[in-house]
Amino acid sequence: MGTRKGFKWDRANSRLDFYYDGVWNDVYDGEVAGAEWVTLTNAAGIKEVTKARVESSDGSSCRLWEFDFEAHFHGYMAEFENRLYGIHTDGKVVHYSAERNMASYAGAFDLTGNYGSVYDLFDGKLLADGTPTLYFCGTEGLFSIDTTNELAYQQEVSYPPITNAGNKGLYWNANVWVSTGYGIIKIGPSTATYVGPDQDNGLPATYQGKVYDFVTVNNWLVYCINGGSTDKSSILKQNSSLGGNLQVYTSATNKPIACVHHSPSSLYTNGRLWFGEAAVIKYMMFPDTTSNVKQISTYQYVNDSGYGKTGGYR
């Protein structure tokens, strides 16, 4: 909701209140000459206003109006074509900023359709011709947004509409990757392949969970499995070309991992993989320039014959 509002009456005294941050807030209280428009700026700045009330009085009579706005909540944001876009969690409304000015609200448009619960918004390219586009995904599938004509198009892939299906989407290496609840689907120009940990009989018992988030590191897709309160949670990685699901980290039971983030190497530190485990933020060294540990002097490795132990899934 913007910061400026105008109102007009023939009464001498007028008052305008906005409801935001859980309370009524006085925006204007003063005299207004007949047929005069009053323009003002809310000192609190831009707020998500859900209700407003207006009082007008001429000294002998008083009128009071109260009305509700249709309240939507921004779920996810993405930068696209020099604008910041936001989509509501039901997929019905898209907001966007002014060009080259993310702090300036420019407008919004409605989308018509059943999008279920929307979990992510990201930029990418149309797989057919490489045209830049915005994607969003959720329980009802993967959609692209034509921001010029203000339309959404469902892509020709589907997965079961369970809770947290479509929790994460990403355009990477000329493919679109979408979590499908317990798995991951890799979408190419004319193919769609399931590549997640739910393949080949799935994960072992006590390691079950849904794919909540993923990031890319060099040629690896690194993703987390949220085991919730009953199972262990894990971080796995797979090679975008060769596939496979390799174990990176596993938490204890009832230590859910719901998000991951990678910070690249710099002059000051090696690459780090950050993740939230229950209420704690953790990180581990995670190289982003090579997967050969022999090339990193501070990483341990075995340079002669020996033996090793692997997990129950690879």
CATH number at residue 123: 2.130.10.10
Q: How confident is the model at residue 299, as a pLDDT? A: 58
List, for residues 115-128, the tens digit of each pLDDT value.
999 999 999 999 99
Range of weakest confidence among 50-54, 98-102, 147-151, 196-200 = 50-54
- Answer yes or no: do 126 and 111 share one domain: yes
- Answer yes or no: do 173 and 250 share one domain: no
- Answer yes or no: do 162 and 53 share one domain: no
Domain end among 49, 68, 87: 68
- Answer yes or no: do 53 and 159 share one domain: no
Is the Cβ–Cβ distance between 231 and 209 less than 8 Å? yes
Top pLDDT among 270 and 205 is at 205
- Answer yes or no: do 58 and 91 share one domain: no
pLDDT band of residue 296 (cuts 50, 70, 90) is low
Q: How confident is the model at residue 1, as a pLDDT? A: 44
User: pTM (2 decimals)?
Assistant: 0.74
Q: What number of other Cβ atoms are within 10 A of residue 14's Cβ?
A: 20
Q: In this structure, is residue 222 part of a structural domain?
A: yes
Q: In this structure, is residue 105 part of a structural domain?
A: yes
pLDDT band of residue 314 (cuts 50, 70, 90) is very low
Domain end among 167, 194, 221: 194
Q: In this structure, is residue 211 part of a structural domain?
A: yes
- Answer yes or no: do 10 and 39 share one domain: yes
**Which domain range does residue 81 map to?**
73-194
Q: Which residues contact 116 (CB under 8 A, 6 or more apart)?
A: 91, 138, 139, 140, 161, 166
Q: In this structure, is residue 165 part of a structural domain?
A: yes
Query: Which residue from 74, 24, 78 is spatially nearest to 51, judged by alpha carbons?
Result: 24
Q: In this structure, is residue 53 part of a structural domain?
A: yes
Query: Which residue from 87, 53, 50 is spatially nearest to 69, judged by alpha carbons?
Result: 50
Q: In this structure, is residue 199 part of a structural domain?
A: no
- Answer yes or no: do 190 and 213 share one domain: no
- Answer yes or no: do 79 and 61 share one domain: no
Is the Cβ–Cβ distance between 78 and 122 less than 8 Å? yes
Q: How confident is the model at residue 72, as a pLDDT? A: 55
Cα separation, 63 vs 66, in Å, equals 10
List, for residues 98-107, the tens digit of each pLDDT value.
899 988 878 8
- Answer yes or no: do 142 and 247 share one domain: no
- Answer yes or no: do 213 and 178 share one domain: no
Domain end among 165, 194, 223: 194
Cα separation, 12 vs 93, in Å, equals 39
- Answer yes or no: do 145 and 188 share one domain: yes
Evaluate if residue 48 carries a pLDDT over 90: no
φ, ψ (nearest 5 deg) of residue 187: -110, 120
Q: In this structure, is residue 201 part of a structural domain?
A: no
Structure tokens at 3: 């910061």
Q: In this structure, is residue 200 part of a structural domain?
A: no
- Answer yes or no: do 243 and 309 share one domain: yes
pLDDT band of residue 29 (cuts 50, 70, 90) is confident
State the total domains in the chain: 3
